[in-house]
Structure 1
């Protein structure tokens, strides 16, 4: 079952507000203003990793999003 919640990521100049959709352990963040998309999931070792998303992106967003899950 798909779940949604609001999340905030820290950009270089400002925060990025968005909605996270979870389905089957895959989490997709979409910015409200469509400026950013980031999809993360746990790898075989249990660590969060980026599996898709817009460019450019900050690697810190992976951990920042994972903390909000």
Structure 2
């Protein structure tokens, strides 16, 4: 399995935060009424980024502990 770098973990975490903020702002500002499909797609992408961050963080921490 390929080692995960700290930079990759930070970049994926940043993408997860940005996408989640975007979805929350759509809910707060109620702009999701224009296209429900795009709103659902944004929510799914946000979830994928969060899961990807968690997986990368676990990989990074397990590689660090093995050293």
TM bucket (normalised to shorter chain) is under 0.3
Query: In terms of Rg, which structure is larger?
Result: 2
Where is the helix percentage greater, Structure 1 or Structure 2?
2
* TM-score, reference length from structure 2: 0.24
Give the structure with the larger strand fraction.
1
Normalised TM-score (structure 1): 0.24
Structure with more relative contact order (C-alpha pairs < 8 Å, separation 6 or more): 2
